[in-house]
Amino acid sequence: MKELNSQKVQNKLRSKFLKAGVKMTGPETIFFSNDTKIGKNVTIEPYVVIGPKVKIANNIIVKSFSHLESCTIENKVEIGPYARIRPNTILREGSKIGNFVEVKKSTIGKKSKVNHLSYIGDSEIGKSVNIGAGTITCNYDGVKKSKTKIKDNVFIGSNSSLVAPVTINKQSIVGAGSVITKNVKKKSLALTRTTQIEIKNYKKK
């Protein structure tokens, strides 16, 4: 009986949003909450789940297999596919969250991009920031959660670990494969790597 009621509720919600102009391919695969708020010119691809307390503004695309809950999505944002937007997240205008990205309790600034394979938790990210693939914010030390702050126009190279609490200041660059444990000054390059070793004509023993 519960399943039938749930199905009825979902069908009502799908119908309501279709009538309001939300573009849905495969609406039967999309799940809404009673309090979902959606603006104009929004496209939702198949297999998307929208949990409680989600506000979606205008000109948004949510791609397949994404899960959103307790978050605010501002205008002109692109999400997914395979993105997880967790509680207390704000995606500012023009930002982009790509595939296999999880964002929790964070603000992603205007026109900032987290395109793939990243975890962003307990973070404040400024405007026009590029987060490279495989970047993680190390926000939990086993006892408490700490904050990562990334200021405007920062470039984070792929496969970087940002160990909170840490601040990456404006217009700085973090080189790929770095583990950042100290604050990075404005307009500087931070890089932590061991020297590459190459042994010529190496033979297995």
The pLDDT tens digits of the residues spanning 165-180 come to 999 999 999 999 999 9
pTM, entire model = 0.94
Q: CATH assignment of 2-190, given 3.20.20.70, 2.160.10.10, 2.60.120.10, 3.30.565.10?
A: 2.160.10.10
Active-site annotation holds for 116: yes
The tally of CA atoms less than 13 A away on the side-chain side of residue 160 is 23
From the list 67, 96, 105, 116, the catalytic residue is: 116
Please compute the mean of the pLDDT values over residues 24-45 and round it to a whole number: 97
Q: Could you tell me which of 51, 57, 41, 48 has the C-alpha nearest to residue 26?
A: 48
- Gap between the Cα atoms of 93 and 73, Å rounded: 8
CB 106 within 8 A of CB 121: yes
Of 2 and 94, the one with more pLDDT: 94
- Gap between the Cα atoms of 190 and 180, Å rounded: 8
Please compute the mean of the pLDDT values over residues 84-93 and round it to a whole number: 98
The pLDDT tens digits of the residues spanning 116-145 come to 999 999 999 999 999 999 999 999 999 999
Q: Where are the domains of the chain?
A: 2-190
Complete edge-to-edge strand list for the sheet that includes strand 37-38: 37-38, 54-56, 71-73, 89-91, 107-108, 123-125, 148-150, 166-168
Which residues have C-beta within 8 Å of that of residue 179, sequence separation ≥ 6? 160, 161, 163, 192
CB atoms within 10 A of CB 78: 20
Q: Please, what is the average pLDDT of the chain?
A: 96
**Per DSSP, what are the bridge partners of residue 85?**
68, 103
Residue 2: pLDDT band by 50, 70, 90 thresholds?
Answer: low
Residue type, 11: N
